[in-house]
Amino acid sequence: IVRRLGGRSIVLVGMMGSGKTSVGRKLAQRLGLDFVDADHEIEAAAGMTIAEIFAKHGETYFRDGERRVMARLLAEKQRVLATGGGAFMLAQTRDNIARHGVSVWLKADADVLARRVRKRTNRPLLHSVDPEETLRRLIDERYPIYAEADFTVISHDGPHEIAAETIVTTL
Ligand code: S3P
């Protein structure tokens, strides 16, 4: 697979809670590629958590940083890259992903996502009165765009190794 990719990265896209980071890590191990998490790189570049960036500077500022970090990561080298849920919504980032990578949408049901993100609070977009309603709205907005990814893999509950293996057989 790695040879067939011809230097392109595997880019995991999808909603918060779809398992991009955990599955991406397993996938990278399985293929002997480096793994990088875009959210983590944005935090390192800003010297702040994502929640702090949103609180201090707002979402537009965060998206500008996300666009820049994604461009850098994609141009650097081949690896498995987990994106933030909104990255694939940025037209320029989508173009960069198409140029340097193969995109895989980790698709999950709304209730699966809701259950998973309930456990984690470092997600400013879900700091609303009704996080599940927000999640449903984002799903409606974003699914047609995630569907433009090169491949779609269903993210079920269960070991991350299984989803990683499904990606390996899909690619
Ligand atoms: C976001 C998803 C988050 C993070 C930020 C915004 C989104 O990443 O980038 O909170 O717009 O869906 P995860 O998908 O890794 O949670």
Predicted ipTM of the assembly: 0.98
Our CA angle for 63, 65, 69, nearest 5°, is 115
Question: What separation in Å is there between the alpha carbon of 16 and the centre of ligand 1?
Answer: 6
CATH assignment of the domain containing 131: 3.40.50.300
Q: Is 84 in the pocket of ligand 1 (CB under 6 A)?
A: yes
Contact (CB, 8 A) for 13 and 103 = yes
Q: Is 94 in the pocket of ligand 1 (CB under 6 A)?
A: no
Among residues 157, 158, 64, 143, the alpha carbon closest in space to that of 105 is found at 143
Q: How many domains does the chain have?
A: 1
Range of the domain at 21: 2-170
DSSP 84: P
Q: What tens-digit pLDDT sequence spans the chain (171 residues)? A: 999 999 999 999 999 999 999 999 999 999 999 999 999 999 999 999 999 999 999 999 999 999 999 999 999 999 999 999 999 999 999 999 999 999 999 999 888 898 888 776 678 988 877 888 999 999 999 999 999 999 999 998 889 999 999 999 999
Q: How many CB atoms lie within 10 A of CB 35?
A: 17
Q: Is 86 in the pocket of ligand 1 (CB under 6 A)?
A: yes
